[in-house]
């Protein structure tokens, strides 16, 4: 696939204090694995930093969107008071929720990763478990300590879902999260942790490709989920090119 025809995949960024050589400054940053997975799947990654006004016009130039992992969504966004263990990024909420709402409305291919799945849920009228250790019966979904180390557990997938097409009836995924979907809103759960039935994946039933996963596929060996997103985005890019060609000839 040539660079001219590669679909443009926007990836939302973290906002963190970052060291550049000898000084620290606030920066829009993203784990490199996201860009590698998109490029490997045939897409062209485009970083999308959060804008306080949403910055939704950026979607006009994109063929697909990934909402990356990171901080918790502000509980006020779904009508709850914050749990003491919640850590939020109001700027990311302000920037990402409008992007997701428009992507869901317009059919732009969309993938939510961990926090991204939770943003999709809140944008769809759903609610979250704010701190899984407080949920009776919930299993081990994250590790604890100063270094991020993934846990692992199996997930079963709904018959007829996109994720079942990609992974089969069940797959082992990595896990690092203290929140989860409690009420999916207008989304449909399509994946569940086999040990505690916690929702691990959601899809939008009336959208060409809108998938949220609670795990981190950017750090897994399989590229299937990113490939599926890029395939859907390629169709969007071709449709745009065909429309532009049509109007150029009339």
Ordered DSSP codes for 166-218? HH-SEEEEEE--S-EEEE-TTSEEEEEETTT--EEEEE-TTSSSEEEESS-GG
Is residue 216 part of the annotated active site? The answer reads yes
Catalytic residue among 96, 114, 178, 200: 114
CB atoms within 10 A of CB 54: 17
Instruction: Please pick, among 153, 177, 178, 216, the residue that the annotation labels catalytic.
Output: 216
**Distance between CA 171 and CA 164 in Å, rounded?**
9
3-class SS of residue 44:
strand
Q: Are 38 and 226 in contact (CB under 8 A)?
A: yes
What the block records as the tokens of 97 is 């929720």
Answer yes or no: 114 catalytic: yes
Residues 6+ away with beta carbon under 8 Å from 164: 157, 158, 190
Quick check: is 178 catalytic?
no
75: its two tokens: 């509980």
Residues classed as catalytic: 114, 216, 218
């Amino acid at each position: 696939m040539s660079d001219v025809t590669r679909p443009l995949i926007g990836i939302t960024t973290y906002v963190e204090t970052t060291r550049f050589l000898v000084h620290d400054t606030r920066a829009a940053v993203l784990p490199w694995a996201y860009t590698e997975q998109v490029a490997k799947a045939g897409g062209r990654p485009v970083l999308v930093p959060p804008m306080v006004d949403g910055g939704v016009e950026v979607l006009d130039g994109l063929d697909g969107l990934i909402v990356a992992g990171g901080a918790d969504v502000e509980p006020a966004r779904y009508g709850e008071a914050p749990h003491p263990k919640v850590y939020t990024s109001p700027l990311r909420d302000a920037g990402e929720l409008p992007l997701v709402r428009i992507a869901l409305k317009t059919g732009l291919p969309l993938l939510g990763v961990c926090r991204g799945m939770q943003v999709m849920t809140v944008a769809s009228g759903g609610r979250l478990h704010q701190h899984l250790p407080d949920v009776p019966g919930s299993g081990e979904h994250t590790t604890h300590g100063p270094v991020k180390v993934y846990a692992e557990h199996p997930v079963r997938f709904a018959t007829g879902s996109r994720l079942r097409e990609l992974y089969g009836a069940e797959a082992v995924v990595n896990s690092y999260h203290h929140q989860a979907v409690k009420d999916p809103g207008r989304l449909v759960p399509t994946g569940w942790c086999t040990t505690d039935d916690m929702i691990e994946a959601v899809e939008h039933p009336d959208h060409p490709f809108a998938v949220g996963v609670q795990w981190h596929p950017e750090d897994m060996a399989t590229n299937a989920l990113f490939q599926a997103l890029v395939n859907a985005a390629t169709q969007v890019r071709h449709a745009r090119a065909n429309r532009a060609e049509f109007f150029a000839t009339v």
